[in-house]
Structure 1
Amino acid sequence: MTLKAESIQFGSKYSELIKKDPKKEDDLFFGLKRNTNKKKKVSSLRSSSQTIFQPSEPLEVVSSRSSSRSNPQKIPYPERIPPQIKQLRKDCTDYMETDQLQKYVEATKEIDRLSEQYKKCIKQKIEDNIVNKYSEDTSRIQKDMVQQYEELMEERNQKLEQMKESIQQLQQKHNKQIEEFMKKWHSNTKMRSYNRTSNDLRVKYLELDKLKESKRFDEMKYVQAQIDERLAFEQDRNEHQLQYDFKDKLNILRNAQAEELKSLQQSNRHKLADFDYKEKQLLELYQKRMAKASVNASTTNMSTEFKRAVQNDMMMSRSASIGTPRSMSRPPTTKVTDCKFNAMEIKQPNLSLSLPKLNYSLC
């Protein structure tokens, strides 16, 4: 049979099939029109490979749906779909050669159905991977933040213990200074410095001794009265001076101690403020990392599996050509089972002689 007769016979069968079922016109039309849509397929394939994968639902909904999925038998073996499509494409070629148009149309529809099913399966798998990765990232971030927070709190507690110890040591130091101060001011040496007799009183005592030697008793009474009056005055003056000096020196000591305590407490407040700032920074870092993980999960690029699924779907759809064109066929690859070559042997150097020994100094 000539080529012209074959085309006439195929055209008559095509028209009879269209009269029986007009809906099959598109399938047959796209099955026969394989060369005109080649450029459109390439452009659509490139545009589909450059798109960004966006989940069809929010991450929370996808996560809850993937966690509560209880029908694993919906697509039990998705890896079996590509071989089925490959076999159907071969069957389409056979149906085309044997003019079995009905089976050709059914096989083409089955190819489209399996391609869409495989595409949805891979897309769902990618969504699950995105949700799992988001869950792993968030759990890792939370674990890191908890660990860093615990380390920060442990360091803070250690610093608080050191602060309490330093405050206690300072308190003991100040108490010891007060005890030494009181002991010094109650000593006999200090008391003698405030019980010295004045020169006027010494002169009166000498005058009293001379009057006693000369037995001038009337004048002795008069001088003794002056001595008693002068002695009472000096005792009262020395006592007031003692109280004044004691309070003055004690205030000086207490002011110095208060300044020392104030300086230490201010240093402790600065240290606690640093810990508060670090805690605030840690919280801000945690929020930024969680937001970044959410953004990365919602704007993830399509994986290689999804690109391959889209490419297979475009090639195996009803607009794809039957058979493999020569331009798209890959050359046969020969498997190298045996490869002999002469390897150059490198001798290992003596590393102990190649580097000098390190000798660190303190400064």
Structure 2
Amino acid sequence: MRGSPLLHTVVKPRSAIFFPGQGIEYPGMLSGLLKSHPSLTNDGLETLYKALKSDEVPDAFNQISGLLTTENPTPQDEKLIHRTSISQPAIMLSSIITLQLANKWAEMSVELKDERPRIIQETLSDCTFMFGHSLGQVIAYVSAGVISLLEGLKIVRERGLAMESAANDTLALMNAESASQFGMISVPIVGETVAQFVDKFTEKAKQLKDNNAIDKSSILDVALMNSPKQVVVSGHVAALETVLEEMKRRRTTKLPVRIPFHSSLLRSTEQRMRNVVSNAGIEYNWPPRKNIKIIENYSLNSIESVDGLKDSIVKGCWEPVNWVGAVDYLNEKENVSTWIGIGAGSSVSAGLVEATLGKRKGTVISIDPLKSTEGWRVITR
């Protein structure tokens, strides 16, 4: 008797759009777009004005919009743009304008035979997944239509202020010497997996605390798992350096930040952020447009409800970013083979996607319309 034929389920290749996090900001991020696409850019700035109209800093809109549109930045501008409460709304606004412009460009490119416009158009019109690096997670919620740009700007402005407040409250209790040792360190990964490094780091930190080699209250957290070749740790820098020295790690780099992002220190933002996302004035539109699935960058779970989204925004202040895990999951479990990065600095995030994919097949494109006199540019990596 002939047996039944085996049935094979073929999963259609899927696409994902991703957004960058903090660290890619620079003065004049919107200056080129303001010239080449004034209507689109001014609409975005008008939304920023409405978001900051009742801000705790009276001159917040003029400060942030000035930094975004300046053509002749001063040394002070170069420093100010990196302030967390300024850079986060700045990056969100520029990313969403980028997406709006990319959508328009893709529509106009429908007749072109070139591969890049075709891939971009198909991905933007039929994207399956979205995710983001840290702040980029919240930008993904706005891009998927779950939160309006207006409310998204309010949320990330408060997110930045909450992070600054958490760091300032801690620093106020520390002397100047200790304060200068508070931040993040980038660690190259060689000859082991990210998971193996995380286990070794966690074990060594516990051992040194138990032996009183470092203060038991020291914050020592793995913050960013960026690629198979790079991890960033966060907390008290002096203690972090002791752990890394004991692990015989070389060529580490102290990052130029004062706030230990994605560390347990920022758990103190929880109540403020829960109040923000529970604000009765915020309207959440669920489900996401076209049933896009948004992947949480620390748990790797798909967000399934408004309550899950709110919780993700709150915990995203201190939970580690598992970029490696997100890319691996989407590629191996969800068959994602096309990756589109949106926004200024998205080429950096695209590089991390490429590094994680390694020799696996995939098309990785970043769209950065803020570096071109034409107002858009597509970078194929």
* Bigger Rg, structure 1 or 2: 1
What's the TM-score once normalised by structure 1's chain length?
0.22
* More strand by percentage: 2
More helix by share: 1
